Amino acid sequence: MKTTIADLSVGEKGVIQDISFDNVPLKLLEMGCLPGKEVELMQIAPLQDPLYIRVNGSHLAIRKETAKLIQITKSENLCEILKS
Amino acid sequence: MRNTEVIKVALIGNPNTGKSSIFNQLTGLNQKVSNYPGVTVEKKSGTTRLTNKVTATISDLPGTYSINPSSLDENIVLQALLNPDNEYPDVVVVVADVENLKRNLFLFSQIKDLELPAILVVNMADQMKRKGISLDIEQLKVELNSDVLLVSARKNIGIEDLRKSILNYKQLDTSTIENISDRIDADFFSRVRQSFKDMTLYKSWLLITQHHNFSNISENLQKRINSFRVDTGQLKKMQNRETILRYQYINNILKKTYTVDTSKATGLRFKLDKVLTHRIFGYVIFASILLLIFQSIFDWASVPMDFIDATFAKLSELTKNELRPGPLTNLIAEGIIPGIGGIIIFIPQIAILFFLISILEETGYMSRVVFLMDKIMRRFGMSGKSVIPLISGTACAIPAIMAARNISGWKERLVTILVTPFTTCSARLPVYAIIIALVIPNQRILGIFSFQGLTLMGLYLLGFFAAISSGYLLNHTLKVKGKSFFVIEMPNYKIPSFKNILFNVLEKTKAFVFGAGKIILTISIILWFLASNGPATFSNASEIVKKEYIDQGLSESEFNQKIASYKLEHSYIGIAGKYIEPAIKPLGYDWKIGIALLTSFAAREVFVGTLATIYSVESDNDTATIKERMANEINQDTGEKQFDLPVGMSLLIFYAFAMQCMSTLAIVKRETNSWKWPLLQLFGMTALAYLASLLTFTLLK
């Protein structure tokens, strides 16, 4: 199983590795959600969906189904290094 | 008048950048909303005088993150900038928010590639220091090869500079940004360039990828477009690549010009979000705000509404007494004045509702509501964004249905539009109020809750449940193409600008008065005509009545009463009422209520006025209120009171479900661009109303 944004817990960060471009709306990319960018899970809505993320300076809410299409590597303790 | 030059300005930008503030600062009250030619979407524009000889007309386009549209709202931007049907702007002003400059520059880079003169306005400049942001404007101008301005719209700083820049738009550079197209696919784009020599490269690329969003594409052009649409998967990949390349370009520029001191970043958004989107407090806060909204719609609005009601009644009476009696006077006093009154009466509630909703939107809280509600609403075929139309629907379905435009999935938008008329709009309220007062005893349960209040609340809940359960049903039955997706920005919290709120309230109220108002007024006049005219038996009423009652020695006033009553019964509307009587008899209604049901198609609250007319012509006692008249009405067949509990409940249920608003049907037709959906509403909702009322009446009788 590959790790996606949907696997983060609140407060955790990761770096976007790959996006299932065919299924993810162009709008999400246009709002700054791109490979190589750091993503942080800010909050999960009370019914476990949607997810509130911070990516590339944007604060966005996306549905879990979309979050599952965005692969990441978790950055447990590497947040400091990845901040650029 | 002197000849003046007019500069056409398109104002565009991301949502939440303070674009409206800039628009309001530039144009003040010189704003109007009109329709785009050929497109059924509203266009907000305003004018401002730049010098004695030059004015600017500014089109305020809907907020968007990109010119690739993902909702009807955003499509307007594409249309305005590209559709040959519309007038091209001379200059585009792109409003950016200093905090999200990167994402805002994405849109700016697209505009630059359209080779239009563009000005970048960096708004909220007053926040820079507090947020630890520094920006090298001069360097940014060089990098973007454009005019860049620092503005703080709320504090009215930099607006004068913007006027000057607009005035000098001819000096702006119109070259594209660094050559992205060749880096996407050089071979593909050289073929595009060959084929579309008559337009800019980026425009042809947008035509190829977005052709379905354009109207009036010539056959020849469509052929050329199609030749590049062989592999749509490949096109999508190219769009993705374009996005990545644009961000690379922007990152390179911002590295040289933009720095943020993260230690200064305040955690206000974080802290507020923790509370406002909390799994328990989030809903508690939202529910309290909803309660507050409903409370204020009723409490605050009742005073001006009573005042309007009384004023128009007086005005009508005054006209009748002062003007020479005749058909024209009757038309004014009984058709036009009550018709206008029927429109004005809604203004207080609509204005208060949109005042509160604007505050929620301006502060950024509405996005949190969308976030909280999305999962729940999806079960009922809608999106978190449907919450706003559903709340607005409690004032009036018309602005509510228009508010559904920013829902990106067609199916979610359609379901929202279809179910919104179930929510209890303010036009139902007068009907509910009078019937509840007639048939529900004015007693309290446990000393606190009044039966009447509980009934009213029950009707509101009924409307709400009808909306969501039909949403659930539609979700499982509608076969509609189109993927839905959901990406929303959670903007930073802001203190709302009073000016923006005021302008928004004005705009929404105007949209209602001139949109629905026309229909309500027209129907009021038609109904008045139908009630005061009729076939031969109508015109000969006095002779017929004379013959019938000649031996009974009636006084003159009693006699006139008989004539008026006879006239109404034999007017066109009376005939129509009698005609439908067999159909509504099972629900407990007589032909008089039938007339009121028919006139309710102008607007539901006309029910009350119609019954007032019917009973006032039947009774000579002018001091009796409508309520008393209705209470004394006797059913001709049974000899009992007409408005008893079974009939009253049956009517309440009918009004809760029936689709009786022509203006709403017209708006739904306009918004869905098809007669199919308004007709579905008309027949589906009315059939439901009929069956539910039949059941209610049968069970209670």
The answer to the question of residue A38 being in a domain is yes
Measuring CA to CA, how many Å separate A17 from each of A20, A37, A38, B500?
10, 8, 10, 41
Percent residues over pLDDT 70 in chain B = 93
Cross-chain residue pair A61–B487, CB shorter than 8 Å: yes
The answer to the question of residue A50 being in a domain is yes
Helices (H), B380-441: 387-392, 397-402, 410-419, 428-439
Cross-chain residue pair B66–A48, CB shorter than 8 Å: no
Which residues, other chains included, contact B152 with Cβ-Cβ below 8 Å and sequence gap of 6+?
Answer: B123, B124, B125, B126, B158
Count of domains observed in chain A = 1
**Does the structure show a pLDDT above 50 at A31?**
yes
pLDDT attached to residue B668: 92
* Residue A11 DSSP SS3: coil
Best CA proximity match to B95, nearest among B51, B36, B158: B158
Which residues, other chains included, contact B268 with Cβ-Cβ below 8 Å and sequence gap of 6+?
Answer: B492, B493
pLDDT, tens digit, for every residue of B466-512? 999 999 999 999 887 767 778 889 988 888 888 889 988 888 888 77
**Does the structure show a pLDDT above 50 at B547?**
yes
Residue length of chain A: 84
**Closest-CA distance of chain A to residue B487, Å:** 5
The mean pLDDT value for B671-683 works out to: 92
**Does the structure show a pLDDT above 60 at A67?**
yes
Candidate from B102, B279, B487 with C-beta closest to A46: B279
**Closest-CA distance of chain A to residue B282, Å:** 9
**Does the structure show a pLDDT above 60 at A82?**
no
User: In sequence order, what DSSP letters do the residues of B189-244 get, joined into one string?
Assistant: HHHHHHHTTTS-HHHHHHHHHHGGG-S---HHHHHHHHHT-S-HHHHHHHHHHHHH
Q: Is B546 on the interface with A (CB under 8 A)?
A: no
The whole-chain average pLDDT of chain B stands at: 84
- Type of residue at B205: W
Question: Tokens 């439908």, residue?
Answer: B580
Least confident window among B73-77, B89-93, B114-118, B467-471: B73-77
Candidate from A21, A49, A57 with C-beta closest to B102: A57
Give the domains, in start order, of chain B with CATH numbers: 1-264 (3.40.50.300), 518-700 (no CATH)
Rounded CA gap, B97 and B74, in Å?
A: 18
Which residues, other chains included, contact B251 with Cβ-Cβ below 8 Å and sequence gap of 6+?
Answer: B102
Percent residues over pLDDT 70 in chain A = 88
**Does the structure show a pLDDT above 70 at B42?**
no
Q: Which residues of chain B have a CB within 8 Å of the CB of A22? A: 233, 236
Q: Are B99 and B131 in contact (CB under 8 A)?
A: yes
Q: In the structure encoding, which two tokens stand for residue B496, read together?
A: 């709302």
**Does the structure show a pLDDT above 60 at A77?**
no
Percent residues over pLDDT 90 in chain B = 27
> Which chain A residue shows the shortest CA-CA distance from B484?
A25
Best CA proximity match to B598, nearest among B527, B495, B497, B493: B527
Q: Is B282 on the interface with A (CB under 8 A)?
A: yes
Rounded CA gap, B49 and B163, in Å?
A: 9
Cross-chain residue pair A21–B236, CB shorter than 8 Å: yes
The mean pLDDT value for B515-522 works out to: 77
The mean pLDDT value for B569-588 works out to: 90
B613 falls in which pLDDT band (50, 70, 90)?
low
pLDDT, tens digit, for every residue of B316-330? 888 888 888 888 888
Rounded CA gap, B154 and B148, in Å?
A: 18
**Does the structure show a pLDDT above 80 at B111?**
yes
**Does the structure show a pLDDT above 80 at B38?**
no
The answer to the question of residue A72 being in a domain is yes
Q: Side by side, which strands form the sheet with B118-123? A: B31-35, B42-49, B54-60, B5-13, B91-97, B118-123, B147-150
pLDDT attached to residue B1: 46
Q: Is B493 on the interface with A (CB under 8 A)?
A: no
Candidate from A22, A29, A66 with C-beta closest to B485: A66
Q: Which residue out of B240, B487, B492 would a mutagenesis test of the A interface target, given it has the greatest number of A Cβ atoms within 10 Å?
A: B487
**Does the structure show a pLDDT above 90 at B195?**
no
Measuring CA to CA, how many Å separate B85 from each of B80, B88, B181, B553?
9, 9, 27, 73
Cross-chain residue pair A21–B376, CB shorter than 8 Å: no
The answer to the question of residue A28 being in a domain is yes
B231 falls in which pLDDT band (50, 70, 90)?
confident
Which residues, other chains included, contact B624 with Cβ-Cβ below 8 Å and sequence gap of 6+?
Answer: B632
**Closest-CA distance of chain B to residue A20, Å:** 11
Cross-chain residue pair B487–A46, CB shorter than 8 Å: no
Q: Are A70 and A4 in contact (CB under 8 A)?
A: yes
The answer to the question of residue A34 being in a domain is yes
Residue length of chain B: 701
The CATH number given to whatever domain includes residue A67 is 2.30.30.90
Cross-chain residue pair A59–B106, CB shorter than 8 Å: no
Q: Are B53 and B2 in contact (CB under 8 A)?
A: yes
The mean pLDDT value for A41-66 works out to: 91
**Does the structure show a pLDDT above 60 at B261?**
yes
**Count of beta carbons in the 10 Å neighbourhood of residue B339:** 24
Omega within 30 of 0 (cis) for the link into B304: no
Measuring CA to CA, how many Å separate B213 from each of B43, B68, B208, B406?
17, 10, 10, 16
Q: Are B290 and B390 in contact (CB under 8 A)?
A: no
pLDDT attached to residue B339: 79
The answer to the question of residue A32 being in a domain is yes
Residue A72, domain extent = 5-77
pLDDT attached to residue B37: 43
Candidate from A22, A34, A45 with C-beta closest to B244: A34
Cross-chain residue pair B277–A43, CB shorter than 8 Å: yes
Backbone dihedral angles phi then psi of residue B117, each to the nearest 5 degrees: -60, 125
The answer to the question of residue A16 being in a domain is yes
The mean pLDDT value for B575-596 works out to: 90
pLDDT attached to residue B31: 74
The answer to the question of residue A21 being in a domain is yes
Cross-chain residue pair A45–B240, CB shorter than 8 Å: no
* Residue A46 DSSP SS3: coil
Candidate from A21, A25, A52 with C-beta closest to B277: A52
B692 falls in which pLDDT band (50, 70, 90)?
very high
**Does the structure show a pLDDT above 70 at B701?**
yes
Q: Are B427 and B395 in contact (CB under 8 A)?
A: no
**Does the structure show a pLDDT above 80 at A20?**
yes
Higher pLDDT, B91 or B524: B91
Angle at alpha carbon of residue B233, lines to B232 and B239, rounded to 5°: 85
The mean pLDDT value for B114-137 works out to: 88
The mean pLDDT value for B302-324 works out to: 85
Backbone dihedral angles phi then psi of residue B347, each to the nearest 5 degrees: -60, -45
Q: Which residues of chain A have a CB within 8 Å of the CB of B492? A: 59
Do strands A38-44 and A13-19 pair parallel, antiparallel, or not at all (unpaired)? antiparallel
B450 falls in which pLDDT band (50, 70, 90)?
confident
DSSP state of B90: S
pLDDT attached to residue B36: 46
Least confident window among B208-212, B331-335, B475-479, B551-555: B551-555
pLDDT attached to residue B303: 85
The mean pLDDT value for B427-455 works out to: 82
Residues of A with CB under 8 A from a CB of B: 21-22, 25-32, 34-35, 42-43, 45-50, 52, 56-63, 66
Candidate from B100, B486, B488 with C-beta closest to A57: B100
CA count, 13 A, side-chain hemisphere, B198? 5
pLDDT, tens digit, for every residue of B370-421? 999 999 999 999 999 999 899 888 888 888 898 888 888 889 999 999 999 9
The mean pLDDT value for B148-177 works out to: 89
ipTM: 0.90
Q: Which residue out of B14, B110, B243 would a mutagenesis test of the A interface target, given it has the greatest number of A Cβ atoms within 10 Å?
A: B243
